[in-house]
Amino acid sequence: MKIKNPILSGFNPDPSILRVDDTYYIASSTFEWWPGVQIHMSKDLVNWKLMTHPLNEKRLLDMTGNLDSGGIWAPDLSYYNGKFYLVYTDVKVTDGSFKDCINYLITAEDIMGPWSDPIYLNTAGFDASLFHDEDGRKYLVNQYWDPRSFHHPFYGIMCTEFSEEEGRLVGEPWLMYKGTNDKFTEGPHIYKLNGYYYLFVAQGGTVYAHQERVARAKSLHDEFETQPGEPFLTTLDAPYHPIQKAGHGSLVQTQAGEWYFAHLMGRPLHHSTEAIVDPRGWCPLGRETGIQKVIWDEEGWPHIAGGHNGTAEVAAPPEVREHKWEPTWPGRDDFDSQELNINFQSLRTPLGEDVLSLKDRPGHLRLYGHFSLASTYTQAHIARRWQSFNFDAEVKMDYRPKTIQQFAGLTCYYNTQNWSCIQVTWNENYGRVIDVVSTDLGKTFSVYEEHPVPVPEDAEYVYLKVEVRGISYQYLYSFNGTDWQKTPYIFDSAKLSDEYIKAVYDAAFTGAFVGMMNADCLGTRLPADFDYFAYEELDQTEVDGKYI
């Protein structure tokens, strides 16, 4: 049995992996998407199921007004003495000399909750994790942010003891490790093995220079020695490797004593386009999660089996049988349930029934118009990840706008400054129309300009579709669901990637989403009713004769 990377496709970065008895869990970052933190589970390290988002109440997380790529960075999931511990960072400031971020801790006896009220830990830096020592004492380690202009902002890794009895950090924090000259030291995780404390850290920044390093010491207060030689994991020296950006991750041991390392990775598409920042290409699916087998040498240092680049296919633990799950996505959601599918998320805050309803028009998802896609406040916008380079997404929508300030439709979205949408709106000359609008690094344009497509007066529903084909995507429309017309613009998928956005904004850490939105800038909350949302992945080997 083989593990095929990525194990979590689409935007699922910064994996924190854990085994409890015969079940593996991975917690990953969600940034500004609500609810916070994705937790997947597996029985075999091959097949994974999205099972919960634990930060699903405002008492646990409030990201109102958070900037793009703020919010949940690098959660840490651990288990000790019958209890799950989840540490997470809510980042409020993303660019510039300061990183205003708050580290919290919650606990639960069951992975599905209920979770305790959050304990405020510190604001010293992000990527916090909790280490449970053999004597029961607990320690918080986090990236230590340095705002001084004459220092590198990634000062190192800080450690502070945590008292569970008092519900707070105790004693003085100390700088336990500064990293190597590759800098950007972050993502710390500690493990106690064979008399050593092993510190795994990410370095190089979450771009193509990303890497994972290992250091160790006999005591948490001793000087940590960096593993000699090459990085534990990186693909910086392998520009044509199918896995790129390999780094930030965590370690897990199987029941039979084997070791694996779950890690951040990306899969760039290669195409000659002005959008490329790095010649390796760009990753519209965002930063994903992969896994590698780990072996230990005679001196007690860990190594990636097969070399520090890792491999696209990894041998699964031989002692387990394959365990497949029923898919969480049915292919098409007809909105007959009173609960939203687990793959859908909103931005920053939960959407109450004044914004989203599955009851007000049975068999439909109703979105009441709110702010535009440029807003960091309430967007009536529900979306799911791009998890394939090639897919079709389609909606059937009933919407009756009366002004140019009302528009609803199908979106492909990266952040408030980078998105596109095929939408139904209103026009002074044509009445109800179809338009295609895009915002590219904050600059918005309409594809049809003065001549959008009129919607027939007798059309109760409008059908909207996007066809994503690797390097590009294109919107289509229909008035009967069978006769599709292509819109006259082909979008570059690169413009929904970290690499493109980082040319202007430092904070770009998510990935492309596809979904449904409704904006009413008049404040009348005009509803848009979606009869279904379909998302279907296509063959990933060849599309239109182009191999990717």
Residues noted as catalytic: 14, 186
Q: Which helix (H) or strand (E) holds 505?
A: none
SS3 30: coil
Amino acid at 397: M
Query: Residue 542: CB partners within 8 Å, gap ≥ 6?
Result: none
Rounded CA gap, 120 and 87, in Å?
10
Rounded CA gap, 490 and 75, in Å?
37
b/e code 21-33 from CB counts within 10 Å (16+ = b): eeebbbbbbbbbb
Tell me if 241 sits within 8 A of 233, measured CB to CB. Answer: no
Query: Residue 386: CB partners within 8 Å, gap ≥ 6?
Result: 10, 11, 284, 285, 286, 412, 468, 496, 511, 512, 513, 514
Query: Residue 493: CB partners within 8 Å, gap ≥ 6?
Result: 269, 282, 284, 468, 470, 471, 472, 473, 512
Rounded CA gap, 383 and 512, in Å?
10
Tell me if 533 sits within 8 A of 333, measured CB to CB. Answer: yes
CA angle 247, 14, 261 (to 5 degrees): 55
Cα–Cα distances in Å, from 427 out to 59, 407, 454, 517? 42, 11, 9, 19
b/e code 80-110 from CB counts within 10 Å (16+ = b): eeeebbbbbbbbbebeeeebebbbbbbbeee
- Locate 355 and state its tokens: 């914004």
| Long-range Cβ pairs for the range 337-340 (8 Å, 24+) | 340/365, 340/382
Rounded CA gap, 365 and 339, in Å?
10
